[in-house]
Amino acid sequence: MSTIEQLSTKRIESGNPIITVWRRLKRIPTAVVAWVIISVMVAMAIASLLGVPLTPYSFDQTSTTLLADPSWQHLMGTDELGRDLFTRVIYGSRLSISIGITTAFVALVIGTIYGATAGYCEGKVDSLLMRGVDIAYSLPDLLVMILVGVLVGRGTQGILFALALVSWMGTARLVRAQFMQLKHEEFIEAARACGQPVFPLICKHFLPNAMGPIIVALTFIVPSAILSESTLSFIGLGLSPPACSWGTLAADGWRSLRTHPHLILFPSLFIFLTVLSFNFLGDGLRDALDPRTRLKK
């Protein structure tokens, strides 16, 4: 590469932080593999949501081939009703992944507003709001989700509400810490001296500079929500039929663990790969977004 091209590349990286983060992220093999796996899972969920047929079977189509082992005809075998397990795993991905992403988005909104208020106001307001976070942290997550599920119902909305209720505290603490650190930076004080109002100041200066850690936290909330939904469904307190998620499929396969282990193996494998990939992606984004990290070219 010529000197002019190198200077041009450096100019592009310095001018566009997204390109800079992407170039750094591509140097982390585990993050790249995780990104590919997540992209495949999300594409599979979107295709199922749009009704794109990825297999020759429908998710509720029964046959006379009951509890068949994996074969070329049924890649993951069939369940006790003769339904193709691969098709049901694909269909279940749209609920599991959509619940994880929606929970992360709700937790991001609530946690950002809550933490920004505490970090910007400081003083008594900060102390009062943080005591609320401490109280919320002291409550057992599983107990809260079970109570909400009993009161609201075992539908998708009830699960989302329960998961969002126990997922926003970490984001609130993170945003509060970022705001308290940024509040004393010179460019913030200069913007205040120019008479910029509070809301534009937060939107234009605070949030863009705090988005790095927030995005990393987001990648950890998604797998946590997927795992929590799977746990609730597995113990019979999550989604109820005919709703189908990876957790409900694993719960159904548990009854035939000794005789037909493939019924629980494949849904659990998809949960494992998704959760592990989001965690690896979060680690990679943490390194890529940190300006102090020096990655080898």
Instruction: Calculate mean pLDDT across residues 224-228.
Output: 87
Distance between CA atoms of 237 and 221, rounded to whole angstroms?
21
Q: Evaluate if residue 296 carries a pLDDT over 50.
A: no
DSSP alpha helix (H) spans, 139-290: 141-152, 156-165, 169-182, 186-193, 198-201, 207-234, 246-254, 262-289
Question: If phi over 0 gives left and psi between -120 and 50 gives alpha, with beta otherwise, what is residue 153?
Answer: left
At residue 37 the predicted structure's pLDDT band, cuts being 50, 70 and 90, is very high
In this prediction, residue 291 carries a pLDDT of 56
Distance between CA atoms of 197 and 266, rounded to whole angstroms?
54
Q: Evaluate if residue 42 carries a pLDDT over 80.
A: yes
Prediction pTM value: 0.80
Q: Evaluate if residue 5 carries a pLDDT over 50.
A: no
Residue 56 buriedness (CB in 10 A; 0-12 / 13-18 / 19+): exposed
Q: Which domains does the chain have, with CATH numbers?
A: 16-289 (1.10.3720.10)
In this prediction, residue 273 carries a pLDDT of 92
As given in the structure block, the two tokens for residue 225 are: 């929500």
In this prediction, residue 36 carries a pLDDT of 92
At residue 17 the predicted structure's pLDDT band, cuts being 50, 70 and 90, is low
Instruction: Calculate mean pLDDT across residues 99-111.
Output: 89
pLDDT tens string 255-294: 777 888 888 899 999 999 999 999 898 888 887 776 555 4
Q: Evaluate if residue 3 carries a pLDDT over 50.
A: no
C-alpha distance from residue 60 to each of 12, 78, 110, 167 (Å): 51, 11, 37, 33
Nearest Cα to Cα of residue 42 among 96, 84, 87 = 96
Instruction: Calculate mean pLDDT across residues 61-82.
Output: 82
Q: CB neighbours (10 Å) of residue 183? A: 14
Distance between CA atoms of 267 and 195, rounded to whole angstroms?
56
Least confident of 84-93, 118-127, 140-149, 234-243: 234-243
pLDDT tens string 154-193: 777 888 888 888 888 888 888 888 888 888 777 777 877 7
Mean of all residue pLDDT scores within the chain = 81
At residue 244 the predicted structure's pLDDT band, cuts being 50, 70 and 90, is confident
Tell which wins on pLDDT, 176 or 196.
Answer: 176
Tell which wins on pLDDT, 14 or 33.
Answer: 33
In this prediction, residue 270 carries a pLDDT of 92
Q: Evaluate if residue 130 carries a pLDDT over 80.
A: yes
